[in-house]
Structure 1
Amino acid sequence: MNTGVIAMLSPREVVRQDIAAIAAIYRNLGAPTAEQMVARALGGLALTMAGIAEKIRAQDLHDVARQLGRLKLQADDLGLVSLGLVAGDACICLERGDGTAFAAVWARLLRIADRSLPAGPGIAGQSG
């Protein structure tokens, strides 16, 4: 029976982090230096994500797989497990030429980035 009601789905991502990665940075550099380094690294991740989003919005996929690979490495270094895994999945979709899968994984990456990275211009709401 069709009631004509449309359900709006709102996926919620569980963001996994490896706290040991950040703890090691703090242990090795000391709190003040580590805090600055982590803040810079998170800002760099946000800028990388915004740059990728801009390319996707412009439908310029040249070099996006390489940038997603860089995003994955940066996320892994900071213990942002979910962000790194999904960036790697997006890269695989691009390399395979699977546009449908890429669109779905990209939407997931945006949701995870929104929960993992500092708020800034150019990231949220950029579904391409």
Structure 2
Amino acid sequence: MRQDVEAIAGIYRNLGAPVAEQMVTRALGELALTMAGIAEKVRAQELRDLARQLGRLGRLAADLGLLTLAMVAGDARTCLERAESTAFAAVWARLLRVAERSLAADVGLADQSV
């Protein structure tokens, strides 16, 4: 998994540790909630508006330096927009794995100070 640690380091440098910690914690929470909402829509086979939500997930991940998560979210969005259901199923499974690893690995992300 690719991660750009400079994204978080820059937030800490620009805002200072206390504010950056709150901001990163909030962003990670939004990312987790967005992923949970997307997962619920996929389980319910409610694909309307899913491409927009995948785009949001990708932007949130990129802002936090979670490059692999952002890339796979983009791939899932592309499969969905092209109506490639088999490809979407495969990429969706990968997105679930990457999101789980990304969020588990970044539990302590907000506690970093630079």
Taking every aligned residue pair, what percent have the same amino acid on both sides? 74
Q: Which amino acid aligns with 2:75?
A: D
Total equivalences in the alignment: 105
- Considering fraction of residues, name the structure with more helix: 2
Find the partner of 1:30 among 8, 11, 16.
Answer: 16
For normalisation by structure 2, the TM-score amounts to 0.90
Shift of 1:118: 4.9
Moved more, 26-35 or 110-119: 110-119
- What are structure 1's unaligned runs of at least 5 residues? 1-14, 120-128
Equivalent residue, structure 1, for 2:58: 72
Equivalent residue, structure 1, for 2:34: 48
- RMSD of the alignment, in Å? 1.1
Please list the CA deviations of residues 16-36 of structure 1 after superposition, one character each: whole Å capped at 9, or x if unmatched.
100010010000000111011
Secondary structure of 1:117's match? Answer: helix
Structure ID, larger Rg: 1
Equivalent residue, structure 2, for 1:114: 100
